[in-house]
Amino acid sequence: MTPKNDLLLKALRREEVERPPVWMMRQAGRYLPEFISLREQYDFFTRCQTPELAAEITVQPIRRFPLDAAILFSDILVIPQAMGMDFEMKPNVGPWLEKPIRTAEQIKAIQIPDVEETLHYVFEAIKLTKKELNNEIPLFGFAGSPWTILCYCIEGKGSKAFDTAKSFCFQHPIAAHELLQKITDTTIAYLLKKVEYGCDVIQIFDSWGGMLSPKDYDEFSWPYIEQIVNAVAEKAPVTVFAKGCWYALEKMSQSKASALGVDWTCSPKTARKLTHNNITLQGNFDPSRLFSTPDTIQRMVKEMIDEFGTTGYIANLGHGILPNVPVENAQAFIEAVVGYKKVG
């Protein structure tokens, strides 16, 4: 059933609209006081793995702001967890894997799980969230790209450069490709289930794609993302956000993806040129710019929309919202899009 507010779906089909739809990456989260109060009661993965909490966190920003889409509260690391890797979220450290993957033997031992069994809590959260949303707006489901997941699995934690993960791939390419394929197969099964349970749109986050050279991106990241896009696009529109990968925009625009995310280092004009204006673009407001005054934010948002144009465009940030952004500044960003008027 089409949501009552289908502005996002229209933008994904490149239909003409009065204004672009708006949502924010990480909108269900850490900048909201109501999220912080839950965070003080439950640890991170408890929130992800408790359907009632995940659904509640998903709809918190929807109660506050006139957003055009919700995104299910979850984490990209639920995939490697389902594959038997014991990730935890360490305070002041972030993602942490006690025994990172460092050998081909470890990779051979990894099983592709039954996602219905291992990730049932995500699908239950989708059902509860859909009930809460009452068909008002579309719901995004998401997953990390296989390359981004591999980075965490081999590095064992976050990193500025993921040198350990990269050097493993360059020294043991056959093993690396085996791991990437296992992550890809698991991710496809997971995302198809997400659509089956009610997600209207799927987003793939390639957060660490920009760590790779264009040539290495073509070997270790894009082919696996494209496998996922090809499998899922038959069932639901797919958006791909590859941070730092402006060089791949042209190639990605020729895929079955419905939209491509753009970060703040690539101008709207350049993004349109690279994609030959034949695909919907999403982005690209610098999240740090949400520390500007509300007046400045509203002026800059209008300029951003003027540059991208209203057709084939979804207003968003160029990466996730930062935790200490004032709520009123997030509101200024959203309201600037909702109140956008074309001149002339």
Q: Which tens digits make up the pLDDT trace of 45-91? A: 999 999 999 999 999 999 999 999 999 999 999 999 999 999 999 98
Q: Please tell me whether 28 is known to bind a ligand.
A: yes
Out of 152, 217, 224, 340, the active site residue is 152
Is residue 2, in this structure, part of any structural domain at all? no
Tell me whether residue 30 is one of the annotated catalytic residues: yes
Is residue 163, in this structure, part of any structural domain at all? yes
Is residue 343, in this structure, part of any structural domain at all? no
Is residue 288, in this structure, part of any structural domain at all? yes
Mean pLDDT of 103-109: 98
Q: Please tell me whether 27 is known to bind a ligand.
A: yes
Q: Please tell me whether 26 is known to bind a ligand.
A: yes
Q: Please tell me whether 217 is known to bind a ligand.
A: no
Residue range of the domain that includes 77: 7-338
**Domain tally for the chain?**
1
Give the chain's mean pLDDT. 97
Is residue 127, in this structure, part of any structural domain at all? yes
Tell me whether residue 152 is one of the annotated catalytic residues: yes
Do 59 and 132 form a contact (C-beta atoms < 8 A)? yes
Distances (CA, A) of 295 to 25, 224, 330, 335, 341: 22, 42, 12, 11, 16
Q: Please tell me whether 267 is known to bind a ligand.
A: no
Is residue 1, in this structure, part of any structural domain at all? no
- CATH number at 143 reads 3.20.20.210
The enclosing H or E element of 281 equals: strand 280-285
Tell me whether residue 102 is one of the annotated catalytic residues: no
Out of 19, 47, 68, 75, the active site residue is 75
The enclosing H or E element of 126 equals: helix 120-133
CA 43 to mean position of chain CA atoms: 21
The confidence band for 231, taking pLDDT boundaries of 50, 70 and 90, is: very high
Statement: residue 342 has pLDDT above 80: no
- Sequence-ordered list of residues with C-beta below 8 angstroms from that of 163, at least 6 positions apart, any chain: none
Closest alpha carbon to 301 in 319, 275, 283, 279:
283
Distances (CA, A) of 6 to 11, 111, 241, 310: 9, 39, 21, 15
Do 182 and 110 form a contact (C-beta atoms < 8 A)? yes
Distances (CA, A) of 13 to 7, 9, 10, 278, 281: 10, 6, 5, 11, 11
Is residue 334, in this structure, part of any structural domain at all? yes
Out of 6, 14, 30, 102, the active site residue is 30
Is residue 203, in this structure, part of any structural domain at all? yes
Statement: residue 153 has pLDDT above 90: yes
Q: Strand 70-71 relative to strand 201-206: parallel, antiparallel, unpaired?
A: unpaired
CA torsion sign, 321 to 324 to 326 to 329?
Answer: negative
pLDDT of residue 42: 97
